[in-house]
Structure 1
Amino acid sequence: MADADDIRAIPRLTTDAERRHLKGLTRTVLAGVNGGDAFSPVTRVEKAVLSKYGSISFPDHFIPLDVAVELDRFADAPTLIGGAAAMLGYRLVPTGDADDAHQLTVADAQSVAKETSEVVTLLLTLLASGKKLDAADRQSVMKEVVEAKASLYRVVNKLSGGAA
């Protein structure tokens, strides 16, 4: 009978770098939605397991596809699914009425302004305090950055006609 480590000897179609990238995307999106505490109540996975999905300390624990879709919906941006599509050489294109779906609105500009200014405000506040950033500070900044990226992603998507 083979031991449990034999499974790792089987050649895989993803590289170590790609798997680390998926872990990083998972960790980033989870941080952006206030972590497993905020997300676990709306999915089938508990906080501790969600943490494993983003941790390189658990190299064989990856977020299941249905949970990745839920997390992207919860974060309001297709970060995980888009990252996986990019690894395969594809890009996501939104469905719907092309004319309406790709029109920039004042709300888009307001969202970008709000979300990016929250990043800048938080960074300036933390840096002005003079203290060394701790894990909670980094998580707070990461949350704001992910929200800003989601807002910018929507604008890029509209500007590119859904080819982002």
Structure 2
Amino acid sequence: MRTISDKQGLTLKAATRRSVDMAGGGDAFQHVTRIRSAQLSKCGSTGEENAEKFLPIDVAVEADIEAGLPIILSAMADIVGYRVTPIVECADLSVALAPPTHRDLVRLNSDLMDVVRAVGDALDDDHVDGREKKEITREIDEAIKALQALQQRIGGAA
């Protein structure tokens, strides 16, 4: 009997889909990993025929690296009762971080407004369907990336 539940397996598959999507989609991501697009799709599929197909751990790491966020890693950590937090190393003074610019603020504002737009569009009919949930999640992931980039530009967390 497997240790992870069906629900946890679905969580991993959802994280796989999000990470691969944030990595540019299967067609793009396949060129920077060892698995082709069709296999990537099967690893994210919730269909009965693909229930036991998951990303190998090295490909999961590559997906998260390409996505710019620890999406799969965070899902795995949550399943085993942990949280993932970023490591911001400020000790290396040989690498000078450029201070944030107005361009960074414009990008952040745009990413945050994309979240607001996606949620607003979803609420127009008082129901958030699967497609809308996926869009909202993608926009939130993009906003998180922008916020983390800004945090790094100011030298990390206080």
Task: Tell me the TM-score normalized by structure 2.
Answer: 0.67
Q: Which runs of 5+ in 1 are unaligned?
A: 1-10
Q: Where does residue 6 of structure 1 map in the other structure?
A: none
Matches within 5 A, 1:45-64: 45-57=35-47, 58-64=50-56
Matches within 5 A, 1:116-155: 116-120=112-116, 143-152=138-147
Preserved contact between residue 26 and residue 54 of structure 1 (Cα < 8 Å)? yes
Change (3 A) 1:152 1:83: farther
How high is the sequence identity, in percent, across the aligned residues? 31
- Structure with more relative contact order (C-alpha pairs < 8 Å, separation 6 or more): 1
Preserved contact between residue 42 and residue 53 of structure 2 (Cα < 8 Å)? yes
Change (3 A) 1:51 1:81: same
Q: Where does residue 7 of structure 1 map in the other structure?
A: none
Task: Tell me the TM-score normalized by structure 1.
Answer: 0.65
**Structure 2: how far apart are the matches of 1:34 and 1:118?**
18
Q: Which region of structure 1 is more displaced relative to structure 2, 26-35 or 119-128?
A: 119-128
Change (3 A) 1:119 1:23: same
CA shift for structure 1 position 150: 3.3
Preserved contact between residue 26 and residue 63 of structure 1 (Cα < 8 Å)? yes
* Aligned partner of 2:84 among 83, 86, 92: 92
**Structure 2: how far apart are the matches of 1:138 and 1:91?**
23
Change (3 A) 1:38 1:119: farther
Task: Give the alignment's Cα RMSD to 1 decimal.
Answer: 3.5
